[in-house]
């Protein structure tokens, strides 16, 4: 089988797949979903077998890193059986999950045993009422217990993800950094992206740039640029004298498309070539028309890569609201 065939017209090699396993979630974060979010009918969601077939095709074409996401991936029934299969694939350098942390008390150890190496856990506030306002669920204690369970389970790295909003949690940036340092975790601060329309707040008013966040941290800690490159929107800095790296995910204020190495597959089997564009290839149709035909699937992926856009336009006048929600695309 030929590997490393996933190269787009701009010479970027695709080595990283973000695979969404569900659009459902037990939280309703205000920047991500409405309270009465309509989820896709179950029949529209890829089966675990189909998800594995997609991952297998990408691995066959040179993908070395897979991140499982959602929705909330840990609400997907029997997810462990998929992870166990992926965990055995030696071609993968990394198998990671992004989670809201609500199920980690029970799931952390089994995830690690299945071969998951790294976890990203979302945490926007350490204050109970604020956390409940962000997520529309009063579950901070459960998530904090989940973070402890993840630390005990021995993952290679655990990173917190915090969306920062001006006037809502920007005053907690230093508290979140201290929380991460005290536990030897990394933390990324995320600029909110215009994905899906939200009713709870005005994104222009709550926008907080990564530069502002970094300045807040530098009031207390020295940061040095880290050599870590992800081929994604994160830029990393080491907090001097600690084990903690701080990342900034800045789709607005910094363009990161030039070295983009990733594509996404939604829970409904849409191959999304760029988070900022709506063009997508329907892999589910192909999978269901030709079950078990891995070669056809690989060819379709190679051809689809020709359509990968050069860049997103989140920060320019050309920007149109992208209608998909992050929970659908897979964060």
Which spans of this chain sit near ligand SAM (rule: CB under 6 A)? 25, 31-32, 69-70, 72, 98-100, 122, 161, 163, 190, 192-193, 195, 326-327, 331
Task: Give the residue from 167, 161, 158, 105 showing the smallest Cα distance to 130.
Answer: 167
Smallest gap, in angstroms, from Cβ of residue 146 to ligand SAM?
A: 11
68 touches which of ligand SF4, ligand SAM, none (CB within 5 to 8 A by kind)?
none
* Token pair recorded at residue 217: 């941290």
Neighbours of 287 (CB within 10 A): 23
For ligand SF4, which residue of 14, 17, 21, 33 counts as binding (CB under 6 A)? 33
Burial per residue of 70-101, b for 16 or more beta-carbon CB atoms within 10 angstroms, e otherwise: bbbbbbbeebbebbebbbeeeebeebbbbbbb
Length of the chain: 331
Instruction: Pick one of ligand SAM, ligand SF4, none as the site partner of residue 33 (Cβ within 5 to 8 A by kind).
Output: ligand SF4
Q: How many CA atoms lie within 13 A of 153 on its CB side?
A: 25
Residue with smaller CB distance to ligand SAM, 56 or 72: 72
* Residue 99 partner contact from ligand SF4, ligand SAM, none using kind-dependent CB cut-offs of 5 to 8 Å: ligand SAM
C-beta of 70 vs 233, nearer to ligand SF4: 70
Within 61-90, the residues that bind ligand SF4 by CB under 6 A are: 70-72
CA gap 163, 331 in Å, rounded: 12
29 binds ligand SF4 (CB under 6 A): yes
Cβ atoms of residues 188 and 124 within 8 Å:
no
Shortest reach from residue 118's CB to ligand SAM, in Å? 13
| Sequence-distant (≥ 6) Cβ neighbours of residue 23 within 8 angstroms | 39, 40, 45, 70, 71, 266, 267, 268, 327, 328
Minimum distance of ligand SF4 from residue 160's CB (angstroms): 13
Q: What does the binding site for ligand SF4 look like in residue numbers (CB under 6 A)? A: 25, 27-29, 32-33, 70-72, 100, 122, 327
């Amino acid at each position: 089988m030929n590997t490393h065939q996933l190269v787009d017209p701009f010479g970027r090699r695709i080595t990283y797949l973000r695979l969404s396993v569900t659009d459902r979630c037990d939280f309703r974060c205000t920047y991500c979903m409405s309270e009465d979010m309509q989820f896709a009918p179950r029949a529209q969601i890829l089966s675990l077998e189909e998800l594995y077939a997609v991952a297998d095709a990408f691995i066959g074409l040179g993908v070395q890193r897979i991140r499982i996401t959602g929705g909330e991936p840990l609400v997907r029934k029997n997810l462990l059986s998929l992870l166990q299969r992926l965990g055995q694939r030696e071609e993968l350098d990394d198998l990671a999950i992004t989670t809201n942390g609500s199920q980690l008390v029970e799931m952390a150890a089994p995830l690690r045993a299945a071969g998951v190496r790294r976890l990203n856990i979302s945490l926007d506030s350490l204050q109970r009422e604020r956390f409940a306002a962000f997520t529309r669920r009063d579950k901070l204690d459960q998530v904090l217990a989940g973070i402890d369970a993840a630390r005990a389970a021995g993952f290679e790295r655990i990173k917190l993800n915090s969306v920062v909003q001006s006037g809502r949690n920007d005053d907690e940036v230093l508290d979140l950094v201290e929380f991460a340092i005290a536990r030897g975790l990394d933390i990324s601060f995320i600029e909110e992206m215009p994905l899906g329309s939200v009713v709870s707040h005005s994104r222009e008013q709550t926008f907080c740039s990564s530069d502002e966040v970094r300045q807040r941290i530098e009031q207390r800690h020295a940061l040095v640029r880290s050599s870590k490159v992800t081929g994604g929107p994160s830029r990393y800095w080491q907090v001097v004298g600690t084990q903690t790296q701080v990342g900034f995910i800045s789709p607005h204020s910094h363009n990161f498309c030039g070295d983009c190495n990733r594509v996404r597959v939604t829970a409904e089997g849409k191959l999304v070539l760029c988070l900022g564009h709506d063009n997508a290839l329907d892999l589910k149709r192909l999978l269901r028309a030709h079950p078990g035909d891995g070669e056809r699937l690989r060819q379709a992926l190679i051809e689809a890569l020709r359509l990968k856009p050069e860049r997103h336009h989140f920060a320019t006048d050309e920007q149109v609201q992208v209608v998909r929600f992050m929970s659908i695309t897979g964060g």
